[in-house]
Amino acid sequence: MKIGFIGLGIMGSRMAANLAKAGYTLFVYNRTNSKAESLAFDNVITKNSPGLVAGESDVVITMLSTPDAVQEVALAEEGLVSGMSKGKVWMDCSTVNPSFSKQMAELSESVGFNFLDAPVAGSLVPAEKGELVFLVGGKKGVVKYCDPLFKIMGKKYIHVGENGMGSALKLVNNLIMGISMYGFVEGLLLGESLGINKEKIFDILDGSPIAPSMIQMKREKIESNDYSPEFPLQWLQKDLHLAAETAYENNLPLPATNTIKEIFALAKKAGMGEKDFTAIYPFLSELNKSTHELQ
């Protein structure tokens, strides 16, 4: 099986590296060539377009930032669709809205190849260690065909259902993650304003049923003021926006999500977009200080 990989950012570069280490021949493309060149393996071959990657590959994996980026890679003049043929598989690991995944699945079927939406739960470290969790939508036989790839890049995969269902579960996952982090940060700021230091708050919450394990996983970043990106804030804000957009498509109100996504948007506008999403803490902390000074 020959693998194509398009999108070599924080996540994609590490996922591709794990496939290369496992001995697969990889054909890769990234809009920024230097990122492709960083995969220094003899079995990794850089191509000049997504279409050329697809033409050489049995399975093409995309890991891109937005639905627009995926659409451009797929449908441009030399896009991946131009290199696909019957029996091949396009596995989109990008976080996109379910309606978009369904559109890409319909397009793939009309051309004659297979499509999986397979976004991942996990960030930089799990991607590096091959410990991601894949949330997969698509035909059972196609999922089974890709089983060896999921097992190299991740610790497990969940076949959620038909196309679009993997993307749906990913938005649910990231909505809960974003709201949980925001709620924790507000609690942390309240505690600090009352004279409780953040270390004690973390200690009290360690193992508590009210705080997800994600909070403790991010403890070191907040305590050390290290906001180097594992999952950039701008992409969490994008995912919250996609969740709100999907809810609108399904006539479902999400009042808290809509409010919190706009607060993350303010943080992005304030220059926090490329930092880890835990940078919502210093953003709100500074905002509170500024508000206090105006009183």
pLDDT value for 40:
80
- What b-and-e string marks burial along 147-168, b requiring 16 or more CB atoms within 10 Å of the CB? eebbebbbeebebbeebbbbbb
- Amino acid, res. 110: S
Residue 86 DSSP one-character state: T
Active site residues: 170
Residue type, 132: L
Locus of tokens 């498509």: 249
DSSP one-letter string for 147-184? HHHHHHHEEEEEEEESTTHHHHHHHHHHHHHHHHHHHH
pLDDT tens-digit profile of 52-91? 999 999 999 999 999 999 999 999 999 999 999 999 999 9
pLDDT on residue 288 = 81
Instruction: Give CA–CA dist 21/15, Å, rounded.
Output: 10
Is residue 295's pLDDT more than 60? no
Report all structural domains of the chain as residue ranges with CATH numbers, in order of start: 3-161 (3.40.50.720), 169-294 (1.10.1040.10)
